Chain A
Amino acid sequence: MSAVPPDAYLVLSAVLFSVGALGVLLRRNALILFMSIELMLNAVNLAFVAFARVWGDLGGQVIVFFVLVVAAAEVVVGLAIIVNIFRTRETVDIDDVDLLRG
């Protein structure tokens, strides 16, 4: 039984990261944007674990926990901001949130 080579995880991580980044750049719904950012963070986590495996170093896996905690804190603040906006404007489409410009 042959193991999946580490390169495959790294490629998957890069693909997930790109999907997330494209989501941020192309989608217009604040919630979807937010999900895309979370996808990017999780892609990074996958990369950390894969690299940790390659180097035989636990450090990379420990970093994942830090990232998870930071992502959780970001979710709390981000969702609060989005909910707050929705209460006033009843939309979370970022093209409609365009008061400030120039």
Chain B
Amino acid sequence: MSVALEFALTAEDLWAMAPLLVVTGFALFVLILDLFLRPEPERKGPLVWASLVGVGAALVANAVAPAPSGTWVQGMLRVDLVSKFLNTVFLLGAGLAVLLSAGYVERQGIARGEYYCLLLFSTVGAMLMGMSADLVLLFLGLETLSIPLYILATFFKRRPASQEAGLKYFLLGAFSSALFLYGIALVYGATGTTQLAEVGARLPEALGRAPGLVYAGLGLLIVGLGFKAAAVPFHTWAPDVYEGAPTSVTAFMAVAAKAAAFAAFLRVLLGAGTGTGAVPSASASAWLSELATAWAPLIALLAVLTMVLGNVVAVVQLNLKRLLAYSSIAHAGYLLIALVAMGAGTPATAADATAALLFYLLVYTLMTLGAFGAVVVAEGEGRSENPSLSDLAGLGARHPWLAGMLALFLVSLAGLPPTAGFFAKFYVFKAAIESGPLGLALAIVGVLTSVISVYYYLRVAYYAVVARPAADADADASAERPFYASGTVWVGLGVAALLVLALGLYPTWVVESLVQGLSAATAAWALP
């Protein structure tokens, strides 16, 4: 496949870009709208609405844009079931993050147009990563995602903790980007192209000619993305950054950056080998058969380390944001299992594993944002800048519904039925067991570490639902400490809770349609 020297954009190209263009347009609109609003934080309401409308419009554009599945814009953008599903996940995450942010940033005095603008630009970066059919676009998406997040992490300009979070995130993020980029350079050197489908097609030959370049390049790509996904041993930045950054930013970062990293994993590890950019097909299994034996054990090792360390260290955390940071590290481990299952199995089981990974990303986004909602309402004037578990005490008495929803998210994070979190883990472990002995071993570790996680999640739920504030000297003062449950937080948590319940009761709707779509794609594209 050679790229013709044809620079005209077709209508399909524009439709393929439509969700990206909508979000970008609204990000710029938010920035301009901000100029017409008075500078007081409580006057920034229209920005929230504009951002929400933008996210909603992009969701619609993503669902209905008449761009056929395929590779558009000079072989750069991939439109398929995977990209559409990932876009939905990113946009849902962005919308919920805006809802959680609205009251929070106002109260903290950081409600500025740039906040929502950067949030939307970061979402565009994540979407670019999910849609990329070319390593260069993947890199640009990674940077479009990360650079706004560096700024957002340090958005409390005068707070030392936030400054430190920004610096750490920036230095490690830029370092990992450089590693990722060198990986791209080496893959380009080995194959002479950066288009993922072409890379996959040329790999068998490249493996014969320059195996060192291929393996080194692949290793650097995995390490670079491992940093972004906060997989052990590349996780060291995550707890500090999550703790120091504004809570609403942490919530968005925990879901968007992680989901985007796994979108990139999906595109690089499997898309490259298939010529389809979606799931492995029989016609191009060279990358899988020869390279999966190299990367599957490596990813499996990362998965075990990530699950064990994330869950064990989370047990001793008393700070809510740090606890959720280690929880998100642990969940990266379960997501890595799905990647191994994709690489280690046959094309049929790989479709199952891909569907499981996508479903897990959706559920993870909803329940993690929901759990961070608890930190948002427990943080503010008269309360800790950095809530610990005991700061949640009294939530159940004051806001029983809120405490109930929080308990639902925590039960889901722990992976207990009948919530979506249970089925997310169930499908991942099922796909892993079907993929072979390596997957089976990983599934066993996954189940054991999930048992550990039940303890610390339910401890948070206990504080939120049951515990009363400690009767200290100024009991009246502590009884008056309000929880900051603004209207938007209620809406955001309500939507997330409903979706977690619905996906927990009817998970097969989503998963079966994903599996069918992916299997059909495999069958169609496997033909020569």
Contact = CB atoms under 8 A, between A and B. Distances in A.
Nearest to A76: B147
Contacts of B164: 85, 97-100
Interface in A30-48: 30, 33-34, 37, 40-41, 43-44, 47-48
A48 B147 contact: no
Contacts of B170: 77-78, 81
Contact of B185 (A51, A74, A89): A51
Contacts of A20: 178
A77 B160 contact: no
A84 B193 contact: no
A63 B140 CA distance: 10
A77 B147 contact: yes
Contacts of A5: none
Nearest to B319: A102
Given A70-B139, A89-B160, A94-B171, A41 B178 contact: yes
B33 interface: no
Q: Is the contact region of chain A dominated by helix, strand, or loop, or is it mixed?
A: helix
A20 B182 CA distance: 12
Given A41-B181, A48-B185, A66-B139, A85 B171 contact: no
Given A44-B182, A44-B185, A100-B244, A78 B150 contact: yes
Contacts of A66: 136, 139-140
Interface in A71-88: 73-74, 77-78, 80-82, 84-85, 88
B166 interface: yes
Nearest to A42: B178
Given A59-B194, A100-B164, A74 B182 contact: no
A41 B185 CA distance: 11
Given A47-B189, A48-B188, A73-B147, A40 B166 contact: no
Contacts of B157: 84
B163 A88 contact: yes
Using C-beta atoms within 8 Å of the partner chain, give the interface range for chain B. 35 or more
Contact of A81 (B167, B188, B243): B167
Nearest to A100: B240
Using C-beta atoms within 8 Å of the partner chain, give the interface range for chain A. 35 or more
Interface string B237-260: 001100110000000000000000
B175 interface: yes
A20 B186 CA distance: 17
B171 A77 contact: no
B160 A88 contact: yes
Interface in B144-179: 147, 150-151, 154, 157-158, 160-161, 163-168, 170-171, 174-175, 177-179
Sorted nearest first, the 7 A-B pairs with minimum C-beta distance are A40-B178, A51-B189, A100-B240, A55-B192, A47-B185, A37-B174, A70-B143
Given A34-B174, A40-B178, A100-B165, 19 more contacts: A17-B182, A44-B178, A44-B184, A44-B185, A47-B182, A51-B192, A54-B189, A63-B188, A67-B181, A70-B139, A73-B143, A78-B170, A97-B167, A99-B164, A100-B161, A100-B164, A101-B240, A102-B317, A102-B319
